[in-house]
């Protein structure tokens, strides 16, 4: 429909949508950067969605049963900020909108989780929002089954553009959502035929509707500017028991001279263009000015969910005290008090029995005692369940037939899995973990990175963490992955050396609230090295003295994971020659770096020769070898300088010279 026709046919709607458009025009112009086109193109859909369908209460933005709104095409962030301001979210003041994209403003270039209520997840890397939304929808299905539909019964609405749908992760997400019949998930495809380089037809000719339908979705279309057409589509989507794609025909940068062109994608900042566009809308107000009456109409929309929220509160209050306490604990993300005692008991048992097990197996042993006391854990694997040891006996499989199941077969979709795990956590009430081979962290990296940026405590169970996996060879043997993961801010990488450290790592990963964790676990069996039971979680310090030097301390051997036992064997060789050798186990460099200097100095005093052993590339070890009172000439590294090799694990270690003998020789050459 033409603008003039729309304006005269639906004046009330038009003005509300124009308020979003005007704010986007003004904020992008003021910042002299940003993306005007998407907010101008999707304002009508957003207006109908928020006015007629979204269940939310702007005064109670944390209401657990609110509908979730995810802007996957995050470059259109001004659309979200305008909505939050107009509907009256306290955080989103007009001042913040005016400071769009400026230092310390909550109105960042792309929506950032934690900056303001109503921003459900960080988006910007295209495809992440739609993939994360699958986790939100799964969480709602699962929690509805657990808590009942009076407590959880809501939708997840997603805005996505051509970019999101072109990204590969969208296929993983779509397939997962379709297979799982996530009927509470509704995606609005901003079908404007434009990306940055020009027409979509330059690079893509996919029949998107057919693609979604092939994965089990309900598909429909609407005129993305006609409020009646949009409303009909949303009603139909809500009635479906399958996830729904609404293909919305829209005009990017509607009403501007850049409409329907790639120029309209980015920042429209020319004052004449901005003014002419406002004129086309019949918008006669100054920059950032929303007339009172119109603002009140929007504020009423922000309040319309108050009744539903109050009814929800009544239903919640009627729960037993025990259930309420459980809800509050899991919603806050707190581990149960029992966790510490449970882990201690497991540690004691492992210390006494001293099994030789792979740390992936030790991880399963930990999960076997954790999952029964933490009903909020939600496990899974990208088709490597038997290898990742992520499934325990009590979980049940999450499926359309069993929404109470707490274990997800994600299929061979590492990226989709990790994005969904973020959604499960961001929704609230759940603690997701998921497994794959460590090497395939590459396939999941964009989601791991965003989870780290958001500081959400999800747990990546990455098994087969070195050449120690053996015969599968270099395609499967991670070499650079530890460095990549350790280099990621806010991500804690645990590489435990035995069953005791593995249990401690799980306790930390589930206990701490503000970072995701990687558990880097071995395929091969490892001896128990912690043979004396300690109540204290030693892994919490990141590194600690596992074995003290006998006699004068001349060398310090450092290692993580499977190489700690090599360090212990090297120590035996050196001590036999009278060379006093300390072994430092370093399961988590990040946590060690966070310790105060006095502790770090106690673990790594100056003077001694230092050798680190890790079956991976050396990047990341410099600080502990040459820094922190160490000296470059007195430090060495035993590890990998190339890709791995297809061979039995023992042969691979010998081939690369990662042995106790080599470590002992290295020490002697440096003395």
- Contact status: 194 vs ligand TPP (CB under 6 A): yes
Judged by CB under 6 A, the residue of 51, 162, 226, 364 near ligand TPP is: 162
Residue 161 within binding range of ligand TPP, rule CB under 6 A: yes
Report if residue 260 touches ligand TPP, rule: CB under 6 A: no
Range list of H helices, 582-648: 589-594, 597-603, 622-625
Exactly one of 125, 255, 620, 630 binds ligand TPP (CB under 6 A); which one? 125
**CB of 196 or CB of 310, closer to ligand TPP:** 196
Of 157-165, 280-288, 500-508, 607-615: span binding ligand TPP (CB under 6 A) = 157-165
Q: Is 87 in the site for ligand TPP (CB under 6 A)?
A: no
Interface residue with ligand TPP, options 21, 68, 75, 309 (CB under 6 A) = 75
* Residue 124 binds to ligand TPP (criterion: CB under 6 A): yes
Contact code string over 495-514 relative to ligand TPP, x by CB under 6 A: --------------------
Beta partners for residue 33, in sequence order: none
Give the angle 667-668-671 at the CA atoms, nearest 5°.
85
Structure tokens at 534: 């300690």
User: What is the rounded distance in angstroms from the CA atom of residue 188 to the CA atom of residue 171?
Assistant: 16
Catalytic residue among 172, 247, 376, 414: 414
Per DSSP bridges, beta strands 580-585 and 544-547 are antiparallel
CA count, 13 A, side-chain hemisphere, 614: 30
195 touching ligand TPP, by CB under 6 A: yes
Q: Which of 252, 258, 549, 616 binds ligand TPP (CB under 6 A)?
A: 252
CB 381 within 8 A of CB 395: no
Per CB under 6 A, does 66 bind ligand TPP?
no
Q: Choose between 170 and 371: whose C-beta lies nearer to ligand TPP.
A: 170
State which residue has the least CB distance to ligand TPP.
161
251 binds ligand TPP (CB under 6 A): no
Q: Which of 111, 163, 178, 429 is in the footprint of ligand TPP by CB under 6 A?
A: 163
Q: Please identify which residue in 73, 330, 537, 581 interacts with ligand TPP, judged by CB under 6 A.
A: 73
Torsion angle of C-alpha atoms 367, 369, 371, 375, degrees rounded to 10: -160
**Minimum separation from the CB atom of position 199 to ligand TPP (A):** 10
How long is the chain? 671
Tokens 């049963």 found at? 65
Cβ 35 to ligand TPP, closest distance in Å?
Answer: 6
Contact between 466 and ligand TPP (CB under 6 A)?
Answer: no
Q: Whose Cβ is closer to ligand TPP: residue 155's or residue 263's?
A: 263
C-beta of 250: minimal distance to ligand TPP in Å? 8
- Please select the residue that binds ligand TPP; options are 1, 5, 9, 196, rule is CB under 6 A: 196
Between 172 and 190, CB nearer to ligand TPP? 190
Report the Cα 233 to chain-centroid distance in Å: 31
Q: Which span (63-71, 120-128, 150-158, 332-340) binds ligand TPP, by CB under 6 A? A: 120-128
Name the packing angle between helices 359-370 and 338-353 (round to 10°). 140
Least Å distance between CB 559 and ligand TPP? 37
CA distance 584 to 557: 6
CB of 164 to ligand TPP, least distance (A): 6
Cβ 133 to ligand TPP, closest distance in Å?
A: 15
User: Would you put residue 10 in left (φ > 0), alpha (ψ -120 to 50) or beta?
Assistant: beta
Q: For residue 37, state whether it binds ligand TPP (rule: CB under 6 A).
A: yes
Question: What are the DSSP E strand ranges found in 484-595?
Answer: 492-494, 517-521, 544-547, 553-559, 580-585
Q: How far is CA 563 from CA 112, 359, 369, 558, 660, in A?
A: 39, 12, 27, 9, 9
Q: How many CB atoms lie within 10 A of CB 271?
A: 8
360 and 387 in contact (C-beta within 8 Å)? yes
Size of the site for ligand TPP (CB under 6 A): 19
Query: Residue 397 CB: number of other CB atoms within 10 A?
Result: 14
Under the criterion CB under 6 A, does residue 671 sit at the interface with ligand TPP?
no
Q: Rounded to 5 degrees, what are φ and ψ at 246?
A: -110, 110
- Stretch binding ligand TPP (CB under 6 A), from 114-122, 189-197, 461-469, 546-554: 189-197
Stretch of residues binding ligand TPP (CB under 6 A), selected from 145-153, 191-199, 570-578, 581-589: 191-199
Respond yes or no: is residue 414 known to be catalytic.
yes
Least distance (Å) between residue 262 CB and ligand TPP:
7
Please answer whether residues 268 and 277 qualify as being in contact, where contact means their C-beta atoms are separated by less than 8 angstroms. Answer: yes
Q: How far are the Cα atoms of 358, 561, 648 from residue 526, in angstroms, in the given order?
A: 5, 9, 15
43 binds ligand TPP (CB under 6 A): no
Mention every residue, 6+ apart, whose C-beta is less than 8 A from residue 641: 617, 618
The smaller minimum CB distance to ligand TPP, of residues 88 and 125, is found at 125
38 touches ligand TPP by CB under 6 A: yes
Is residue 435 within 8 Å of residue 463, measured between CB atoms?
yes
Positions marked catalytic? 414
Per CB under 6 A, residues contacting ligand TPP are 37-38, 73, 75, 124-126, 161-164, 167, 190, 192, 194-196, 252, 265
């Amino acid at each position: 429909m033409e603008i003039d026709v729309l304006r005269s046919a639906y004046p009330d709607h038009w003005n509300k949508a124009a308020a979003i458009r005007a704010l986007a025009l003004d904020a992008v112009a003021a910042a002299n950067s940003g993306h005007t086109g998407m907010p101008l193109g999707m304002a009508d859909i957003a207006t109908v969605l928020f006015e007629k369908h979204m269940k939310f209460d702007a005064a109670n933005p944390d209401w657990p049963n609110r509908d979730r709104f995810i802007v996957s095409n995050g470059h259109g962030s001004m659309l979200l900020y305008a909505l939050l301001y107009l509907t009256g979210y306290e955080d989103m003041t007009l001042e913040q909108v005016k400071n769009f994209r400026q230092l310390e403003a909550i109105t960042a270039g792309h929506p950032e989780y934690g900056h303001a209520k109503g921003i459900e997840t960080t988006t910007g890397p295209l495809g992440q929002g739609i993939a994360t939304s699958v986790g939100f929808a799964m969480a709602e299905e699962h929690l509805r089954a657990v808590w009942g539909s009076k407590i959880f019964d809501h939708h997840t609405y997603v805005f996505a553009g051509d970019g999101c749908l072109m990204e590969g992760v969208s296929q993983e997400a779509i397939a997962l959502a379709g297979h799982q019949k996530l009927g509470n998930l509704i995606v609005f495809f901003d079908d404007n035929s434009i990306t940055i380089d020009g027409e979509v037809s330059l690079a893509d000719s996919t029949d998107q509707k057919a693609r979604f339908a092939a994965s089990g979705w309900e598909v429909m279309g609407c005129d993305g500017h006609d409020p009646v057409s949009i409303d009909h589509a949303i009603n139909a989507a809500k009635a479906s028991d399958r996830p729904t794609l609404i293909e919305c025909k829209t005009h990017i940068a509607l009403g501007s001279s850049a409409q329907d062109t790639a120029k309209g994608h980015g920042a429209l900042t020319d004052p004449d263009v901005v003014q002419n566009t406002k004129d086309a809308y019949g918008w006669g107000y100054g920059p950032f000015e929303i007339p009172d009456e119109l603002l009140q109409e929007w504020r009423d929309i922000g309040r319309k969910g108050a009744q539903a929220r109050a009814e929800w509160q009544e239903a919640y209050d009627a729960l037993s005290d025990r259930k309420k306490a459980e809800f509050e604990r899991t919603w806050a993300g707190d581990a149960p008090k029992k966790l510490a005692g449970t882990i201690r008991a497991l540690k004691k048992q492992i210390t006494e029995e001293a099994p030789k097990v792979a740390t992936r197996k030790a991880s399963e042993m930990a999960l076997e005692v954790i999952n029964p006391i933490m009903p909020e854990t939600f496990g899974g694997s990208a088709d490597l369940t038997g290898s990742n040891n992520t499934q325990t006996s009590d979980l049940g499989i999450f499926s359309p037939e069993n929404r109470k199941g707490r274990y997800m077969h994600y299929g061979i979709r590492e990226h989709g899995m990790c994005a969904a795990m973020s959604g499960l956590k961001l929704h609230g009430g759940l603690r997701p973990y998921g497994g794959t081979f460590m090497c395939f962290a590459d396939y999941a990296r964009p989601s791991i990175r965003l989870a780290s940026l958001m500081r959400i405590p999800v747990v990546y169970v990455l098994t087969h963490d070195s050449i120690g996996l053996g015969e599968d060879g270099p395609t499967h043997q991670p070499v650079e992955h530890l460095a990549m993961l350790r280099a990621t801010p806010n991500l804690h990488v645990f590489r435990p050396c035995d069953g005791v450290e593995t249990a401690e790592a799980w306790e930390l990963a589930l206990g701490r609230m503000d970072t995701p964790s990687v558990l880097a676990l071995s395929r091969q069996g490892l001896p128990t090295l912690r043979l004396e039971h300690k109540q204290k979680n030693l892994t919490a310090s990141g590194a600690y003295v596992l074995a003290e030097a006998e006699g004068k301390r001349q060398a310090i051997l450092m290692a993580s994971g499977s190489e700690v036992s090599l360090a212990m064997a090297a120590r035996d060789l050196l001590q036999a020659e009278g060379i006093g050798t300390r072994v430092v186990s370093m399961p988590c460099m990040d946590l060690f770096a966070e310790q105060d200097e006095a502790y770090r100095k106690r673990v790594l005093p100056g003077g001694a020769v230092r050798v680190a052993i890790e079956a991976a590339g050396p990047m990341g070890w410099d600080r502990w070898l040459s820094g922190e009172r160490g000296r470059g000439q007195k430090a060495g590294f035993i590890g990998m300088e190339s890709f791995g090799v297809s061979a039995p694990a023992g042969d691979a270690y010998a081939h690369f010279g990662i042995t106790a003998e080599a470590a002992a020789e290295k020490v002697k050459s440096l003395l």
